[in-house]
Amino acid sequence: MSLLSALSIVCGLMLHVAFSALNSHYCVPRKTVPYQNELKLFREDGIFNYSTMLMRDDLGVLLLGAREAVYALDINDVSVRKAAVYWRVTEEKQRECTYKGKHAEVECRNYIRTLHRMNDTTMYVCGTNAFSPTCDYMTFVGGQLRLQGKPEEGKGKCPFDPFQRYSSLMVGNDLYSATSINFLGSEPVVLRSSNLALRTEFKSSWLSEPNFVYMDFMGESFDSSDGDDDKVYLFFSENAMEYDFYSKVAVSRVARVCKGDMGGQRTLQRKWTSFLKARLDCSLPEPSLPPVVQDVFLLKHEDWRKSVFYAVFAPQSSLSQVSAVCAYSVSAIREIFNEGKFKTPVAVETSHVKWVMYTGEVPVPRPGACINDVARKMGMNRSLDLPDKTLQFIRDRPLMDEAVRPLTGRPLLIKRGALLTRIVVDSTLALDGQKYAVMFIGTDNGYIQKAVNYDGEMFIIEELQLHENPEPINILQLSSTKGQLYAGSESGAVQMPVSNCGRYDTCVDCVLARDPYCAWDFSSERCSSVQSLTRSSDTAVQSLKEGDVSRCPQPDPVAAVELTLVPENNIHLPCQLHSNLAQVLWHFSEQTLHSNHKYYIHSGGLLIMSATESDAGLYTCDSVEQINGRTYNRTAAVYRLQLYSDPGVGGNTTPGNEVTNSFDSANTATPEPGPDDTGEDPPTPENLNDTGRVTRLEVAVALLSLLCLSLMGVMLYIWLRGRWKCCRFAPVLQNASERENGKQQSCEYMHIQNRSSDIKMLGPESVRPCAANNNHHTAVDFKGNGEHHFTPMANISSLDGLGYINDESEI
């Protein structure tokens, strides 16, 4: 019985890996570009944490802040260092830091966290300085980078902890910052450092253990119909106050303050009178805690009302590996703050405070509003003139009742696997004269996902591996004028172009890439940048929404590879698909092949088991890809198996043409899979670096399939027999949601095991579109120890497999 159990485990694991590999091409980037040494890289030995960047196009440099160093790098080639300045902590500061319990060589250093432009030659720079934040001015003149040596107190402008999330923004000469102002990190603040400094209240209803993410400026006073003020928007996550949970749950927020805010006269003196916040909604298609915002990018429009915030969300539970991108319009956020209802705290028996929608009378002028024409008509030209009734209202009720919904009503992109960490968005003009928003999204394993939305269809053009070893991307910066992307991580900074059109060698590959930056130029017969072409449909072709290749010339037919068939041997015919989204289709003598006891079809090719004379003939491998309802079929490989004519010799045929039963690449004579007809290297899935190894595993699985089927039959018989004898009284509880579980759609196959219990959840294995949305609910058990356990609704009343009834109403 132990032998059978061991074999069943082995078979199950191998089948799981095989099925995962077969299904990995669904809802993934169309192309995978593995790590390439030609990317421009900057790093210096002994320097780490390259996490702060400032683009200075006017100076031709990228300012890069790291641990105890600031570099001025050539904006066209970051591997070229123009200047550097080192800002190290003194021995005394480091000693004081260690006395307070911090690590001398990790935390007690000076991490550059703030870099802002002041004027044509001057920047404002701040560092953690061994848990003693300090700021200074830095100049870049004559190719030299220098600190002015006029240190300023950095408390409130820069975090104490180098690894604490933080955000800041320079508006004119005023520095807006969101960080903690004490050593312990327990006093969060949104601060404006200027002649008239303002900050938030130290109340949990304003900020509750926040993680600040992003801050940006919006000039809403321009062409304003009601004389409104400019705004500063802040994105962060914090502990939820509106949910009645037994444990802390994080939610994502957007907040805003008015540029002209001067605080109150008596109430809210030197405090924000315009601080309002609202929850960000980015609902995932599977039951989970609310995802937490990780990064935000503002894609500005000429009309500021049409500007859009793009936000990356990641799960707050380690049980989930699903992250998402949601987009929010400035107009939608503005409408909630200007016209939405407020939440208010009320006392209830079961809790100290419960937050509900405020239904009473709202004071005039409206609490939290900027000074506008309505206030001016009432004789209030400054926030100092606002009445106490308005100020007391907003002091106690800074939270809006309604959440900000995504621009499309659901996430733009949902990705399973490596978590998304950072995002930048570029707006580019395509050949059809339309502008498209192209998202560049960093992951926690060092990839860049390049994605675009075509009329509701989310399409990931490609993913590029920036780092040879998995390494989270800590910061992304985009230079639209240069067409370059800059990514910082723990070990260095990498520069890559927004697109490499030369990667596509044929017209078909260029068009099917559906890259807004690229189009096929008929005159030069190559894939070229759209910017370098005259926007004419006669000289170039690009089909972004349809993927129509009808105007491309017919590709040359694929030449058949002649191979010799030796009876009773296993034959492996390699076939490399043209994209990660393509499916393989094999034909033999004009008949379509399917996996069975004779043939095993996998992502790397076709396995013919125990070949016979009847297997001789022509085999064709087609790469079939669905593009916006269109099916594109392209031949990837052709083989002609000829029967060996001299059985007396055995297997000694002409070298290079014999097909043997060996699966070791060192001994087999089957042709090695080379680059496809595009000239590209075979695509490598995001989390799979050795395609050959997986291919051999799939082949091995095929040989074990018969054993597994037999074994499963024996195990099923034993289980049924035992169940008939012993388990006749164990009830099987199943409801509609469990029966529907197999019908739920998912981007990829997922198996999640709860580490704190023996409960296992097996994700749905069917395929769904990336942006699909469904509404399933789950029970969340918040225990006193802070652990979050997720169980399907059908299993709530069950304990360790026993059907206990928790309430008489369940009888």
Sign of the alpha-carbon dihedral angle for 60, 65, 66, 71: positive
Return the H-helix or E-strand segment holding 333.
helix 330-339
250 and 145 housed in the same domain: no
Confidence of residue 588 (pLDDT cuts 50, 70, 90): very high
Please state, in angstroms and rounded to a whole number, the distance separating the CA atoms of residues 695 and 685.
13
278 and 378 housed in the same domain: yes
656 and 745 housed in the same domain: no
Show Cβ contacts of residue 205 under 8 Å, excluding neighbours closer than 6 positions: 241, 345, 396, 397, 398, 399
Please state, in angstroms and rounded to a whole number, the distance separating the CA atoms of residues 326 and 317.
19
pLDDT surpassing 70 at residue 9: no
- Is the distance from CB of 603 to CB of 634 less than 8 angstroms? no
What's the total number of domains in the chain?
5
621 and 763 housed in the same domain: no
Share of the chain above pLDDT 90, in %: 64
pLDDT surpassing 50 at residue 337: yes
- pLDDT, residue 690, reads 39
591 and 677 housed in the same domain: yes
pLDDT surpassing 50 at residue 810: no
- pLDDT, residue 713, reads 60
Rg of the chain, C-alpha, whole Å: 31
250 and 380 housed in the same domain: yes
pLDDT surpassing 90 at residue 665: no
518-533: pLDDT as tens digits: 999 999 999 999 988 8
- pLDDT, residue 670, reads 38
pLDDT surpassing 70 at residue 19: no
Task: Calculate mean pLDDT across residues 302-323.
Answer: 92
Question: Could you please report the per-residue DSSP string of 190-255?
Answer: EEEESSS-BB--S-TTT-SS-EEEEEEEE-TTTT-TT-PPPEEEEEEEEE-SSS--SS--EEEEEE
Domain-located, residue 92: yes
Angle at 529 between CA 525 and CA 535, to 5 degrees: 85
Domain-located, residue 28: no
Least confident residue range of 253-262, 577-586, 656-665: 656-665
Confidence of residue 603 (pLDDT cuts 50, 70, 90): confident
- From 380, 410, 440, give the residue that closes a domain: 410
pLDDT surpassing 90 at residue 219: yes
266 and 207 housed in the same domain: yes
218 and 148 housed in the same domain: no
Q: How many CB atoms within 10 Å of residue 603?
A: 23
Average pLDDT of the chain to the nearest whole number: 80
- pLDDT, residue 121, reads 93
Task: Calculate mean pLDDT across residues 478-486.
Answer: 95
Show Cβ contacts of residue 495 under 8 Å, excluding neighbours closer than 6 positions: 39, 40, 41, 42, 77, 78, 79, 484, 485, 486, 487
Least confident residue range of 241-245, 571-575, 677-681, 720-724: 677-681
Which one has a higher pLDDT value, 567 or 778?
567
Domain-located, residue 707: no
- pLDDT, residue 4, reads 39
366-420: pLDDT as tens digits: 999 999 999 999 999 999 999 999 999 999 999 999 999 999 899 999 998 899 9
Highest mean pLDDT among 351-360, 466-475, 735-744: 466-475
Confidence of residue 773 (pLDDT cuts 50, 70, 90): very low
Task: Calculate mean pLDDT across residues 263-268.
Answer: 95
- Burial class (CB within 10 angstroms; exposed 0-12, middle 13-18, buried 19+) of 425: buried
- pLDDT, residue 753, reads 35
Least confident residue range of 54-63, 555-564, 733-742: 733-742
Nearest to 682 by CA among 575, 591, 799, 548: 575
Please state, in angstroms and rounded to a whole number, the distance separating the CA atoms of residues 415 and 359.
40
277 and 352 housed in the same domain: yes
- pLDDT, residue 275, reads 98
pLDDT surpassing 60 at residue 287: yes
Instruction: Give the strand pairing for 571-574 and 605-608.
Output: antiparallel
- pLDDT, residue 286, reads 78
CA distances to 190, 201, 217, 233 from 210, rounded to whole Å, are 11, 14, 20, 15
Please state, in angstroms and rounded to a whole number, the distance separating the CA atoms of residues 569 and 565.
8
Return the H-helix or E-strand segment holding 736.
helix 736-741
Please state, in angstroms and rounded to a whole number, the distance separating the CA atoms of residues 286 and 623.
32
Least confident residue range of 189-198, 230-239, 266-275, 738-747: 738-747
Please state, in angstroms and rounded to a whole number, the distance separating the CA atoms of residues 157 and 98.
23
Partnered with residue 564 across adjacent β-strands are: 642, 658
530 and 560 housed in the same domain: no
| φ, ψ dihedrals at 805, nearest 5° | -105, 120
Domain-located, residue 535: yes
Confidence of residue 771 (pLDDT cuts 50, 70, 90): very low
Q: The domain that contains 645 carries what CATH number?
A: 2.60.40.10
- pLDDT, residue 714, reads 55
- pLDDT, residue 755, reads 35
Domain-located, residue 579: yes
Q: The domain that contains 518 carries what CATH number?
A: 3.30.1680.10
Domain-located, residue 326: yes
- pLDDT, residue 83, reads 97
Structure tokens at 165: 């999330």
Domain-located, residue 718: no
Task: Calculate mean pLDDT across residues 251-268.
Answer: 96
- Is the distance from CB of 118 to CB of 139 less than 8 angstroms? no
pLDDT surpassing 50 at residue 766: no
- pLDDT, residue 14, reads 43
List strand residue ranges (DSSP E) for 22-143, in order: 31-33, 40-42, 52-56, 61-66, 69-74, 77-86, 112-117, 122-127, 134-141
- pLDDT, residue 408, reads 87
User: What's the gap between Cα 146 and its chain centre?
Assistant: 37
Please state, in angstroms and rounded to a whole number, the distance separating the CA atoms of residues 170 and 234.
13
276 and 332 housed in the same domain: yes
pLDDT surpassing 90 at residue 78: yes
Please state, in angstroms and rounded to a whole number, the distance separating the CA atoms of residues 31 and 681.
10
- Is the distance from CB of 603 to CB of 574 less than 8 angstroms? no
CA distances to 61, 316, 365, 552, 630 from 75, rounded to whole Å, are 5, 36, 48, 37, 42
Q: Domain containing 525: what range?
A: 501-541
CA distances to 420, 737, 805, 807 from 810, rounded to whole Å, are 42, 17, 7, 6
Q: How many CA atoms lie within 13 A of 401 on its CB side?
A: 13
- pLDDT, residue 37, reads 82
Please state, in angstroms and rounded to a whole number, the distance separating the CA atoms of residues 2 and 9.
11
611 and 526 housed in the same domain: no
- From 410, 436, 469, give the residue that closes a domain: 410
Q: The domain that contains 278 carries what CATH number?
A: 2.130.10.10
Domain-located, residue 793: yes
pLDDT surpassing 70 at residue 655: no
- From 512, 541, 570, give the residue that closes a domain: 541
| DSSP reduced 3-state for 291 | coil
